[in-house]
Amino acid sequence: MSKDHGSQIKNDEQYEKLREKGMSKEKAARIANTEKSGEKGGKAEKYEERTKEELYEKASEIGIEGRSDMSKDELIEALRNH
């Protein structure tokens, strides 16, 4: 049985599994709180297919620091690991 994380976490079971895999609390909560939590996504364009400017915008939206000095590959890595 999964632990109750209160009203701030919508899918406690998924949150716990993500934390066990080593995800940060912030990232696990963000994923567990999505409307379609647990459903397969895959509709977004792959990071490698996006322009550096598009990656920079996404990094800006989620607050990745140091993004202005990053290469395209560094932006991809930062976005995947945030």
pLDDT of 53-74, one tens digit each? 999 999 999 899 999 999 999 9
In this structure, are residues 16 and 2 in contact, taking their beta carbons and an 8 Å threshold?
yes
* CA 57 – CA 67 distance, rounded (Å): 9
pLDDT digits (tens, 9 = 90+) for 8-21: 788 888 889 889 99
Mean pLDDT check: name the lowest of 27-36, 37-46, 70-79: 37-46
Residue 58 and residue 44 in contact, taking contact as beta carbons nearer than 8 Å: no
